[in-house]
Every structure is written in C-alpha cells, then in structure tokens.
Amino acid sequence: MTDCLFCRIAAGELPADIVYQDDDVVAFRDLHPQAPHHILVIPRRHVATVNDFAAEDAELIGKLVLTARDIAGQLGLAEDGYRMNLNTNEKAGQTVFHVHLHLLAGREFGWPPG
Ligand code: 5GP
Ligand code: ZN
C-alpha cells in the first residue's frame, strides 16, 4: 500500500476515468478539469517530479508525450489544437508529487501562462 494518490489510481486501488493504459503509462480524466478536455498522463512507476527522471527514462518521457498526442488525435482534437503541461514543484503549481503530463484541449489558451 502506498500513500501516493496517482500510484493508487495506476494500481486500480482508487477509481478514475481511465482513457488509456498499458504497461508503462496510465491516462485518466482530471477530477477538476480546467478545459473541456483535461487528461493526465502518468508513468505507472512512481517518479515524484521531472527533476527525478534519469537519462534512462528518455523513452518513458517520450511515451508520455506520444500517448497524450495520440489521445488528442483519437478525440479529434489534433487540428483544433491542444496544450501539454508538466508542472514541476510548488512554484510551478505541482500539487501531486507523481509526475503527470496535463493534456488540455477544447478551448483557447493564453500565452504566456499565468
Ligand atoms: P498539478 O497541480 O500537480 O500539476 O496537477 C494535479 C492535478 O491532479 C490537478 O489538476 C487535480 O485536479 C488533479 N487531481 C487531484 N486529485 C485527483 C484525483 O483524485 N483524481 C483525478 N482524476 N485527478 C486528481
Ligand atoms: Zn506515485
């Protein structure tokens, strides 16, 4: 038993609206969506922040991005546009310390982000 929320979702111990999963990654809808489509893509393995990735994780990091890209495509959002976000540590807005890539789509996004 772990006290990490996203490890528990990945293990199926807590419910989530899962849109994709395989041996390496799990993607599920955010509980408090900030856009019409707001999906989190996480590595199954616990990694607290992007700072904790090793060079050997390059393939896994690529898979997070490609999984989000493919989900956007399957939802018909590729042409309309979408945003990916990796918040790292408190000042950047990270509140759950298991790496998660935000996939946001379905509205316009400002730049620079607030
Ligand atoms: P962060 O602020 O760390 O970048 O993003 C954490 C995200 O996780 C937030 O968007 C928040 O709404 C989402 N979240 C927090 N708890 C849960 C939960 O139990 N289930 C799901 N599906 N999302 C969660
Ligand atoms: Zn975890």
CATH number at residue 98: 3.30.428.10
pLDDT score, position 114: 82
pLDDT score, position 2: 83
Residue corresponding to tokens 């993607």 = 27
pLDDT score, position 1: 61
Contact predicate 104/38, CB 8 Å: yes
The structural domain count of the chain equals 1
Residue ranges of the chain whose pLDDT lies below 50: none
Residue 101, ligand 1, Cβ within 6 A: no
Closest-lying ligand 1 atom to the alpha carbon of residue 38: 10
pLDDT score, position 82: 98
pLDDT score, position 49: 98
Active-site residue, 38 included:
no
**What is the domain extent for residue 17?**
5-105
What's the gap in Å between 54 CA and the centre of ligand 1? Answer: 24
What's the gap in Å between 30 CA and the centre of ligand 1? Answer: 6
- Conformational region of residue 72, where left means phi above 0, alpha means psi within -120 to 50, and beta covers everything else: alpha
Which residue among 96, 98, 99 is best mutated to probe the pocket of ligand 1, counting the most ligand atoms within 8 A of its Cβ? 96
Query: pTM of the predicted model, to two decimals?
Result: 0.98
